[in-house]
Amino acid sequence: MLLQTLLGFLCSVGALATENTTAQQSAVPLLLVSFDGFRADYLQRFPMPNLKLLYSQGVLVEQLNNVFITKTFPNHYSLVTGLYAESHGILASTMYDPVSHKHFNLTSDKDPMWWNQAEPLWITALDSGYKTAAMMWPGSDVVIGNRTPTHFLPYNSTVTFQQRLESVINWMLGHEKEQGVMFAALYWEEPDRSGHIFGPDNATAMAKALKEVDDNIGLLMSELKRTGLWGNVNILITSDHGMAQCSADRLIRLDDCLKSDNYTLVDLSAVTALIPLQDPEVVFALLNKCHAHMTAYLKKSIPDRLHYRDNERIQPIILIADEGWTIVQRGDLPRLGDHGYDNSLPSMHPFLAAAGPSFRQGYQLKSLQSVDVYPLMCHLLSVPPRRNNGTLTQARCLLAAESCGDVAMVTALVVGVLFILSTITGLFWLLRSRRSMGPRAFQRLQVDYDDDDDPLLE
């Protein structure tokens, strides 16, 4: 009887947990917006009334733990694929492929070869019958798997945010001849541009840049309300990386350690990639003791936690500068603000805010992995995700229909009740067995002798 009661209770509680974790509203359109270089703590340092209004009606992830290296192209591609850089192949802003012997940089990035190691959401969603759009998002104007988004525009810095937003809203609205898009991605280059020029510690310059960003968020909200989309679409606002303050007093010059004819330089930044032209061990030994604020790694020794080793485009030696230090070959400081550093640094972390019918209201989460954004978006769109490095475990806490706190409470309750009922059941059987034990009549032990079976010989 107790066992039946226990099973019945567990089934009913399990059903409640399942209801919380599997309930899903009908898919509504999703808009993903990235403000490049929006460091997480800008939210505390500068007034952002429009952004705060948005997440007060939705959710805020205070820090998004992004992928290494903390650069624009790798992280934007991670957001829409859910993959680490080593898995999607966009490893940096400047790359060399040893198989094809091709070079990649920001002005030569349209070759599908670089992007075809992964499939972004604007392609995957097409298979669910959706129309998709991307406004200047890295990689969105490239033919990936012989396809592009339904609508896209290549990057053009002269196109204003208002103009970009107008196109995206028109794509989402659709018209009598074409349904609106279900997934759209929109990119804006501030406050990254100002952060590079002035550095994140320049409060005056960054306040001006972030006021412009917040004004653009206000414009986004007002246009969505004007067109009737507000409250009928889910909106994710995030970024790719943060920004660190640099200084002419924090320079690491490679020429002080190694002659340039010993290597071919592939990328030069907070993370430097190079190909040794001499014995790699010898070149590495020289670089390893080059500077106290720079760590050299042979490819095979790059730490697992960086997820930056298992791709042929990762060069034989990489150099990682400490936060705020700049690696140059020779010469002066190129910029006052930079990124690309270790992704465990808070200064490299962006944020995430979201609002819409699928999200909770007034909820905040301390942190989330950036690769988790992709499975979250697939869940919102009811799109089967491609293989990825993310999980919904934490991200589902942001959703109105799936309160992870309730699930945790129910799980704890199940465990507690299971323990109590198991204890009661054990005591019941113990008492029953003691009752059945009483004085027993003497019985002679019957022993059958068998000459052919002597146990002492076994």
Q: What is the pLDDT of residues 40-84, one digit of tens each?
A: 999 999 999 999 999 999 999 999 999 999 999 999 999 999 999
What SS3 class is residue 266?
A: strand
List the single range of 38-52, 114-128, 256-270 with lowest mean pLDDT: 256-270
> Can you count the helices (H) and strands (E) in the chain?
13, 18
Residue 439 pLDDT > 70, yes or no?
no
Burial of 323 (0-12, 13-18, 19+ CB in 10 A): middle
pLDDT-derived band at 164, boundaries 50, 70, 90: very high
CATH of 28-83+118-246+342-401, picked from 2.60.120.510, 1.20.1090.10, 3.40.50.11540, 3.40.720.10, is 3.40.720.10
Q: Structural domain boundaries of the chain?
A: 1-23+404-426, 28-83+118-246+342-401, 251-338
Would you say residue 440 has pLDDT above 50? Answer: no
| Cβ pair 58, 356 in contact under 8 A | yes
**In the CATH hierarchy, which top-level class contains the domain 251-338?**
alpha beta
Query: CA–CA separation, 74 vs 85, rounded Å?
Result: 6
Length of the chain: 458
Which entry of 21, 70, 72, 124 is annotated as an active-site residue? Answer: 72
Return the half-sphere exposure (C-beta side, CA atoms, 13 A cut-off) of residue 51: 27
Split at pLDDT 50, 70, 90, the class of 434 is: low
Q: What is the mean pLDDT of the chain?
A: 88
Tokens of 373: 């954004």
Judge whether residue 452 has pLDDT over 90: no
Distances (CA, A) of 16 to 392, 399, 404, 416: 19, 17, 12, 16
* Rounded distance between C-alpha atoms, residue 369 and residue 64, angstroms: 6
Q: Whole-angstrom distance between the N-terminal and C-terminal Cα of the chain? A: 46
**Rounded Cα distance, 416 and 437, in Å:** 32
Binning pLDDT at 50, 70 and 90, where does residue 10 land?
A: very low
pLDDT at 67: 98
pLDDT above 80: residue 12: no
What integer is the mean pLDDT of 316-322?
98
Is the per-residue pLDDT at 226 higher than 60? yes
Question: What gap in Å lies between CA 458 and CA 448, rounded to an integer?
Answer: 17
Model confidence over 386-425: pLDDT tens digits?
A: 999 999 999 999 999 886 754 444 455 555 656 676 667 6
Residue 395 to residue 376: CA distance in whole angstroms: 6
- Give the percent of the chain with pLDDT over 90: 79
Mode of pairing for the β-strands spanning 183-188 and 132-135:
parallel
- The sheet with strand 183-188 has its strands ordered as 151-153, 132-135, 183-188, 30-35, 234-238, 352-355, 59-65, 363-369
Beta bridge partners of 4: none
The whole-angstrom distance between residue 284's C-alpha and the CA centroid of its chain comes to: 32
Rounded to an integer, the average pLDDT of 219-227 is 98
What would you measure as the largest C-alpha separation in the chain, in angstroms? Answer: 105
| 132 classed as catalytic | no
Task: Supply the pLDDT for residue 127.
Answer: 97
pLDDT of residue 119: 98
In this predicted structure, what is the pLDDT of residue 447?
40
